[in-house]
Amino acid sequence: MAYLNRTTKQLQLKIVYYGPALSGKTTNLVRVHESVKAKTDKEKSDLVTLATSTDRTLFFDFLPLQTVKVNGYEARFQLYTVPGQVIYNTTRQLVLRGVDGVVFVADSAYDRLNANIESLKNLYQNLEEIRIDPKNVPVVIQYNKRDVKNAAPIDYLEYLLNKEKRPYFEACAGAGKGVFPTLNAISKILLKKFLNQGQSSRPANSASSGTVNSSSRPAASKPGQSTSST
């Protein structure tokens, strides 16, 4: 859930990238981390990897320059991925704790459709398992790998994965396409949700949602040891 740090005057929002193995979750985070510019080491946290023998969980956080203060607090985004393999489901549940919003990264390839469906079901199941109502967690869908030869039509993917008519974006994350529009969408939804829910109980300052892009200047403390991204 959104966390107010009254010492630093920051609103911390947690976004989790979810999806089947090799759908592009890691690629999204690596692209964002590479693109967000920082003048000093303190302005952006390192990309942290919690690695198993066969899978990874990535994390970093940043404070984009173009995000306006929300009720007197600066919005700071924490981005996580979950391991794609089913054997690490417990890790997925741990990463989902305290989640504010989800980017579901679907693989556009026809032969990955069942994996997408199972992963989406698993998302809802895990949220319920940790006592979070899935209806209360905003989700943005990214249809990644639109450049593969056997990519399913968007209409068919929508039919299979998006009956709730959530916002969706086409992407080729490896080339950087669609990465920031997806992140901007979930960021704006979360900021709007926070404003609607907390205006009456938060400090009464003006607020506005912002966007994140490759020219944003982050400012965040380092959460842990850095690793090279692949």
The winner for highest mean pLDDT among 6-15, 23-32, 121-130 is 121-130
User: What is the model's pLDDT at position 77?
Assistant: 85
User: What is the model's pLDDT at position 128?
Assistant: 98
DSSP state string for the chain: --EEETTTTEEEEEEEEE-STTSSHHHHHHHHHHHS--SSGGGB---EEEE-SS-EEEEEEE--TTPPPBTTBEEEEEEEE---SGGGHHHHHHHHTT--EEEEEEE-BGGGHHHHHHHHHHHHHHHHHTT--GGGS-EEEEEE-TTSTTBPPHHHHHHHH-TT---EEE-BGGGTBTHHHHHHHHHHHHHHHHHHHHTTTS-----------TT--------S------
Task: Flag whether pLDDT at 192 surpasses 80.
Answer: yes
Across 2-30, average pLDDT: 87
Across 20-49, average pLDDT: 76
pLDDT in tens, 37-87: 655 455 556 777 766 555 555 555 555 545 557 777 888 888 899 887 777
Task: Flag whether pLDDT at 15 surpasses 90.
Answer: yes
User: What is the model's pLDDT at position 180?
Assistant: 94
Residue percentage of the chain with pLDDT more than 90: 47
Is 7 or 155 the better-scoring residue by pLDDT? 155
Across 179-185, average pLDDT: 95
Domains, the chain: 3-198 (3.40.50.300)
pLDDT in tens, 194-211: 888 755 444 434 334 455
What pLDDT band is residue 1 in, cutting at 50, 70 and 90? low
Residue percentage of the chain with pLDDT more than 70: 72
User: What is the model's pLDDT at position 204?
Assistant: 37
Lowest-pLDDT choice from 35-49, 50-64, 169-183, 215-229: 215-229
User: What is the model's pLDDT at position 146?
Assistant: 98
User: What is the model's pLDDT at position 58?
Assistant: 56
The overall average pLDDT reported for the chain is 80
